[in-house]
Amino acid sequence: MSPEEDHSDDAALAGEYVLHLLDDAERVAFERRMADEPALRDLVREWDEKFSLMMQDIAPITPSAAVKTRLEDRLFADTPRSRSPWWNWLTGGVVAAGLAVGAVLLMPNLISGPDMAPTFTANIAAEDGSLIVTAHFTSGTNRLHLSRQIGDALPGHSFELWLIADGAEAPVSLGVLPEDREALIDLPSELATQMTNAVLAITDEPAGGSPSGAPTGPVVAAGPVTGA
Amino acid sequence: MILQVGLGDRAAFSALYDATSAKLFGVCLRVLNNRAEAEDVLQNVFVKIWQKANLYSANGYSPMTWLITLARNAAIDKLRARRGGTVDIDDVHDLSDDAPTPEAEAIASSERARLNGCLDELEADKSEAVRRAYLDGDSYQDLAARYDVPLNTMRTWLRRSLLKLRECLSR
C-alpha cells in the first residue's frame, strides 16, 4: 500500500464499515476503535450523510396499518397508563447502561458521622460515557452532593438535573449543574422523601436551564437511585 | 420531533411514525424486497428510534440521515441473516427505481447531484459496485462474483473508489 493510501486508510475503512463490507472480526475491531476515536465516528457520519442521499430516490411506500398497532403494543402495552412517559424509556437501555457503568464513588473523607453518611447514591451516565455525574444524597441533611466526573455542557447550554420519583407523572427540576465539577444542592424535604427507586436524569437545556420548568432538551444521561 | 420522542413523548413518536414510516419502509423494502420482512424490520427500527432518540442530539446526524441509516442498517442485517437465501436484484430494481415521487424529486438537493456527479466520475462498474453495496447490501463476495474478479481485487477496487469519491466530494 502506498503511503498516500495509508494516510487515508481510515477514510476508506469507515466507508467500508458504512457499506457493511467489513467481515465480523474487522467490524468488531472497528467499532471498538470508534468508541474511543471521535475522528472515526466523524468519518462514519460523513459517509452516512453522503450515502443516505442515494435513498432520496427511494419512493415512500405505506406499510400496513398493523405495523403501527403491533409497534405500539410492543412498546406501550405493558406500561400502566398512570406512569410518566419518562419512565418508559428509562426502563429501557438507559438504566441498564447506567447500572453497567456502575461505579459508585466513596464519599469524601471530610464527611463523617452516622447522620452524614450518604443514604442514596446514583451514577448518572450517558450511554456512550460522554457524561458521568455521581450523586450522593444524605437523608440527615437533605443534601445532594454531585460530582461531575466526565463531560461539559456545550457553550451556550446548561445541564439540568431532574428527579423522576417512582411512579411520578413528570420530572422535577433539581436545578442547573454549575460549572464547578463539585456541587451541593439542598433539597426541600418533600423531594427528599422521594429518593427511593427514583431516577436522576440530566438534559441538555438552554443556558440557565429550561425556560418552562419542564425538560425541553434531550436527555443526555440518566441513572437509578440506589441505597448506599 | 426526535428530541420530543427522546423525552418519552408518545404523541411525538406517533407523529414521527406517521411522517417517516413510508419513507423508511421504502428503504427497508428496497434492501429486502420482501414485504413481510420489511415490515418486521420497520417495526424494530421504530423500537430502536424510541429507545435511542434521547441520544440523538449527541451524535451530530441530520434527522433524516439518522432515521434512514437506522432503517438501512437494520434491513441489511436482516438480509445478511437470511444468508443463503437469494435476492432477485432485478426485482428489487423494478420495485423502486421506476417511481421517484414528486416529493423525492422536489427535495433532490444539490448535495445529491454532487454525490451523483462524483459517483459518475468513477468508472461505470465501480460506481455501480458502490451503489450495490449501499442500496442492495451486496457483500464483497457478491460483488466479486458479479464482476468476476478475485475478492482481494474487488476490495482494492472498492477502497480506491471510496477514496476517489471522498476526494471528489471534498473539492
Which chain B residues are Cβ-neighbours of A20 within 8 angstroms?
73, 76, 80, 133, 137, 139
- Contact call for A126 and B73, based on CB within 8 A: no
Counting Cβ atoms within 10 Å, is residue B109 exposed (0-12), middle (13-18) or buried (19+)? exposed
| pLDDT over threshold 50, residue B69 | yes
pTM beyond 0.90: the answer is no
At B94 the pLDDT is: 34
Torsional sign, CA A25, B40, B63, A59: positive
Q: Coil, strand, or helix at residue A186?
A: strand
* Complete domains list, chain B, with CATH: 1-87 (1.10.1740.10), 109-171 (1.10.10.10)
Tell me if A84 sits within 8 A of A170, measured CB to CB: yes
For residue A81, the distance in angstroms to the closest alpha carbon of chain B comes to 12
- How many helices (H) and strands (E) chain A has is answered by 8, 8
At A79 the pLDDT is: 52
Comparing A9-18, A201-210, B83-92, which segment has the lowest mean pLDDT? B83-92
C-alpha cell at A61: 411506500
Say which residue, B1 or B108, is predicted with more confidence: B1
Q: Which amino acid is at B45?
A: V
At B109 the pLDDT is: 65
Task: Give the CA count within 13 Å in the CB-facing half-sphere of A80.
Answer: 6
- Contact call for A93 and B58, based on CB within 8 A: no
Which chain B residues are Cβ-neighbours of A88 within 8 angstroms?
8, 10
| pLDDT over threshold 80, residue A31 | yes
- Contact call for B162 and A16, based on CB within 8 A: yes
Which chain A residues are Cβ-neighbours of B47 within 8 angstroms?
71, 74-75
| pLDDT over threshold 90, residue A19 | yes
Comparing A71-80, B14-23, B59-68, B162-171, which segment has the lowest mean pLDDT? A71-80
* Complete domains list, chain A, with CATH: 3-57 (no CATH), 85-227 (2.60.40)
Q: Across the interface, which of A58, A72, A219 has its CB nearest the CB of B30?
A: A58
Could you tell me which of A192, A187, A196, A135 has the C-alpha nearest to residue A167? A196
- Nearest-angstrom CA–CA distance, A26 and A1: 18
φ, ψ of residue B88 in degrees (nearest 5): -85, 100
* DSSP secondary structure, A80-139, as one string: -TTS-HHHHHIIIIIHHHHHHH---PPPPTT--SGGGS-SEEEEEE-TTSS-EEEEEEET
Residue A177 pLDDT grade (very low, low, confident, very high; cuts 50, 70, 90): confident
Residue A171 pLDDT grade (very low, low, confident, very high; cuts 50, 70, 90): confident
Tell me if A59 sits within 8 A of A186, measured CB to CB: no
Residue B93 pLDDT grade (very low, low, confident, very high; cuts 50, 70, 90): very low
A182-204 residue pLDDT tens: 888 888 777 788 888 888 999 88
Which residue on chain A is closest to B77 by alpha carbon? A20
Size of interface A-B (CB pairs under 8 A): 180
Mean pLDDT computed over A145-157? 87
At A93 the pLDDT is: 43
- Chain centre to alpha carbon of residue A31: 19
A78-108 residue pLDDT tens: 554 434 444 444 444 444 443 333 333 333 3
Tell me if B3 sits within 8 A of B56, measured CB to CB: yes
**3-state helix, strand and coil shares in percent for chain B, rounded to the nearest 5:** 80, 0, 20
At A112 the pLDDT is: 39
Mean pLDDT computed over A169-194? 82
At B84 the pLDDT is: 52
Mean pLDDT computed over B80-100? 46
Which chain A residues are Cβ-neighbours of B165 within 8 angstroms?
15, 50
Mean pLDDT computed over B70-94? 67
